[in-house]
Amino acid sequence: MALFLCLIIVAIVLGLIGAVAQGLTYLLIIGIVVFVADLALVGRRWSQRSH
């Protein structure tokens, strides 16, 4: 669970920096990718526990 929270914080920080700073939109994209990967990781863990 700590890994999930850490990745969420990293995704939010990268997204904010990418949205605010000009020319750093790639950080916004990286933040979105990290967030989606984190959700996929948690979804996979929950689906394995339910079986």
Structural domain for 13, as ranges:
2-50
Domains identified in the chain, total number: 1
pLDDT at 3: 80
Token code pair at residue 8: 């969420």
pLDDT at 50: 66
Cβ within 8 Å of residue 14, ≥6 positions away: 27, 28, 30, 31, 34
Contact 34, 17 (CB under 8 A): no
Q: What is the pTM of this model?
A: 0.75
pLDDT at 51: 63
Which parts of the chain sit beneath pLDDT 50?
A: none
Ranges assigned E (strand) in the chain: none
- φ, ψ for residue 36 (rounded to 5)? -65, -40
